[in-house]
Chain A
């Protein structure tokens, strides 16, 4: 029993890392730009498919392939923002972003169906299949790499947000868009770039997800609901919170699975509701710094 529990905890932490990778971009976008990016799930799948194609067609190692997919997804993110989201205005902007990103998700999903068909695939790269024997059970290296990437990403994004001028303009925009404009920050450019970064991060999440799960164009829907729950629990805009929340929720689900698998997923969402009752801003969310 102790072995099972410890394995479940380790599983939970590592899988939580994968989810954190996928959620990091979402919390940045939601926290900074007030955009509910429903397309995030499908974008993860797009990143997974890109890594898959690079691996199977061009035989590029999945980690090396990130050098291509991350910038590619960044550009896709910037384009999506510039083409569709930039024009949204008004008091109901957040709800509009919900609809716009949903429409974008539909289009991307349709394109993925056309290009790849409906069959499930998985990235079966050799580097992702090695295991390490620790604590009496086995862990796949890919999960460890994914977790390390998640932590590294959080650190990198923190550095970006708190140590660079660009980061300062992002934080300024987050706190008060009008004031930011008044001090000369090009809010549109900041928004587009932030959205692009949020999407670029999903390339890494997609690669790890695609290496650990079979997926097809339809797999994005299951993801987005969990990702939303994670970022709310962690506090919107908080990268560390996303990591912490992902690890917490997935570990909880993983441990409960030992006894009640069918209820474990419900526990996931119930935990969210419970935490929000007592801490409406999530674990690490900032107090409301701007009006709703």
Chain B
């Protein structure tokens, strides 16, 4: 076929060099600054107090497409709502907030590229975190190298705080509930029941995920110590051909309690469907994640079926907190729907903004080193998710775990545990499928 290549092919290498250099020059000149980077982020911005006009730029990479797109988009809405509220109130110390979002398509290469761009090309003042514990590791490493604080609301798995980078620099701050203890309110509730009313058996199906498994495993440990027999405890792959076989296995054992280590809505929906098929109704059904996504959950499972399903979280739309209520009503005003339809991710993102705002105000600017020191100083901050106080690892030690439940044929998402906490109403048992 190739007796002899045309000269273009023979000299392809040289020509590629030319083409490449041209391309690179073009890209570099268009992206603005190609000079040597500065590793200290805009400390100059805080120096001049009369820099009222300079906006505060904040950058974040989110999963707007890909596996986590439903959550990523909810997060974006949360960040945007916060910025809108802050700017409407005059900004932070008179400076308007300007957000930049980049899509990382749930890819670590992209998340690393995005944060390097935000920090070194766009020179943002602050960085907010991406969605998902799985992406937070590489992203926070980039931020840490440049001395940026990394405030986030969605990376709560222990693995996030155990990265060597965070252990060295301690600059990751998770404003949301650390996951390990989140099912404890349910355990405590079971412990509070008289022995005759306690469940006899329990099943613990868990998706293979560092976010979902620790709380379920802890719950299993505690509940078996209380005398609740484990009839099923197994980890299933995150993406099986179908959830039905394991859900059928669980249903076949007829446990009183099912604590499902789920990370997303489809898992919960599939288990619910299979339970319904098997005409099996657990007395209590707790899912680690999914039912807290508001209308995203209802649209997948159907309003009638949602009742009785419980989910742990640090926040819910009915939370009796002025800022939270305001955020919820603004969300409804902008996006429609009802209060119960608000995804918990929105609150997580909003809380990130609030924490950053308080830190900026307290330190008088956007100096990241000062912000990191401030956040580690043991101060308690406010957020729509409740109080925020960071321990040395960056986890929020002040957050309280609540258990929420759908009631009223999928119309109400209410707080049911801990008992006696303000705002708690009575738990309902799960009624048989199809009866509601």
Direct contact between A and B judged by beta carbons closer than 8 A: yes
**Chain A contact residues, CB within 8 Å of chain B:** 3-4, 7-8, 11-12, 15, 19, 113, 117-122, 124, 129, 131, 137-140, 212-216, 218, 222, 226, 250, 253-254, 257-258, 261-262, 264-265, 268
Q: Give the total number of A-B pairs whose CB atoms are below 8 A apart.
A: 114
Taking a contact as CB atoms under 8 Å apart, the answer to whether A215 and B266 are in contact is yes
Taking a contact as CB atoms under 8 Å apart, the answer to whether A218 and B67 are in contact is yes
B245 sits at the interface (CB 8 A): yes
Docked complex Cα distance between A120 and B296 (Å): 7
Q: Which of A139, A215, A254 contacts B277 (CB 8 A)?
A: A139
The segment out of B134-142, B174-182, B231-239 that lies at the interface is B231-239
The segment out of B299-307, B318-326, B354-362, B392-400 that lies at the interface is B299-307
Docked complex Cα distance between A19 and B244 (Å): 14
Docked complex Cα distance between A131 and B244 (Å): 14
Taking a contact as CB atoms under 8 Å apart, the answer to whether B269 and A120 are in contact is yes
A residues in contact with B237, CB < 8 Å = 261-262, 264-265
Taking a contact as CB atoms under 8 Å apart, the answer to whether B241 and A214 are in contact is no
Docked complex Cα distance between A19 and B236 (Å): 20
Docked complex Cα distance between A18 and B387 (Å): 49
List the B residue with the shortest CB-CB distance to A136.
Answer: B252
- Give the shortest distance, in Å, between A67 (CB) and chain B (any CB): 25
> Provided the pairs A4-B252, A138-B278, A139-B277 are in contact, do residues A11 and B70 lie with their beta carbons within 8 angstroms?
no
Docked complex Cα distance between A15 and B434 (Å): 23
List residues of B (17-66) whose CB comes within 8 Å of A's CBs: 65-66
Docked complex Cα distance between A292 and B214 (Å): 51
Taking a contact as CB atoms under 8 Å apart, the answer to whether B242 and A213 are in contact is yes
22 contacts between A and B (CB under 8 A): A7-B252, A11-B244, A113-B65, A119-B299, A120-B70, A120-B296, A120-B300, A122-B302, A124-B302, A131-B277, A138-B277, A139-B277, A214-B266, A214-B269, A216-B70, A218-B65, A218-B69, A254-B242, A257-B240, A257-B245, A257-B249, A261-B234
- Give the shortest distance, in Å, between A103 (CB) and chain B (any CB): 16
List the 3 closest pairs (A to B, CB-CB), nearest first: A214-B266, A261-B236, A118-B69
B133 sits at the interface (CB 8 A): no
Docked complex Cα distance between A57 and B41 (Å): 52
Docked complex Cα distance between A212 and B242 (Å): 9
Taking a contact as CB atoms under 8 Å apart, the answer to whether A250 and B242 are in contact is yes
How many chain B residues touch A (Cβ–Cβ < 8 Å)?
A: 39
> Provided the pairs A119-B70, A261-B237 are in contact, do residues A15 and B277 lie with their beta carbons within 8 angstroms?
no
A residues in contact with B300, CB < 8 Å = 119-122, 214
> Provided the pairs A120-B70, A214-B265, A257-B246 are in contact, do residues A265 and B240 lie with their beta carbons within 8 angstroms?
yes
> Provided the pairs A119-B295, A121-B299 are in contact, do residues A254 and B245 lie with their beta carbons within 8 angstroms?
yes
B residues in contact with A11, CB < 8 Å = 242, 244-245, 248
Docked complex Cα distance between A254 and B248 (Å): 10
Docked complex Cα distance between A7 and B278 (Å): 11
- Give the shortest distance, in Å, between A28 (CB) and chain B (any CB): 21
- Give the shortest distance, in Å, between B324 (CB) and chain A (any CB): 23
Contact with A along B152-187 (1 / 0, CB 8 A): 000000000000000000000000000000000000
Docked complex Cα distance between A4 and B278 (Å): 13
Docked complex Cα distance between A105 and B205 (Å): 33
List the A residue with the shortest CB-CB distance to B72.
Answer: A118
Most chain-B CB neighbours within 10 Å: which of A3, A19, A214?
A214
Docked complex Cα distance between A113 and B105 (Å): 13
B residues in contact with A215, CB < 8 Å = 266
List the B residue with the shortest CB-CB distance to A268.
Answer: B241
List the B residue with the shortest CB-CB distance to A246.
Answer: B241
Docked complex Cα distance between A215 and B264 (Å): 11
B409 sits at the interface (CB 8 A): no
B residues in contact with A253, CB < 8 Å = 240-241, 245
Q: Which of B73, B236, B241, B252 contacts A118 (CB 8 A)?
A: B73
B residues in contact with A3, CB < 8 Å = 252
B residues in contact with A119, CB < 8 Å = 70, 265, 295-296, 299-300
Docked complex Cα distance between A257 and B132 (Å): 27
B270 sits at the interface (CB 8 A): yes
A residues in contact with B301, CB < 8 Å = 122, 214
List residues of B (248-267) whose CB comes within 8 Å of A's CBs: 248-249, 252, 264-266
Docked complex Cα distance between A214 and B73 (Å): 18
Taking a contact as CB atoms under 8 Å apart, the answer to whether A258 and B249 are in contact is yes
Taking a contact as CB atoms under 8 Å apart, the answer to whether A120 and B299 are in contact is yes
Taking a contact as CB atoms under 8 Å apart, the answer to whether B208 and A262 are in contact is yes
Taking a contact as CB atoms under 8 Å apart, the answer to whether A129 and B276 are in contact is yes
Taking a contact as CB atoms under 8 Å apart, the answer to whether B296 and A265 are in contact is no
A residues in contact with B66, CB < 8 Å = 218
- Give the shortest distance, in Å, between A146 (CB) and chain B (any CB): 12
- Give the shortest distance, in Å, between A214 (CB) and chain B (any CB): 4
- Give the shortest distance, in Å, between A105 (CB) and chain B (any CB): 13
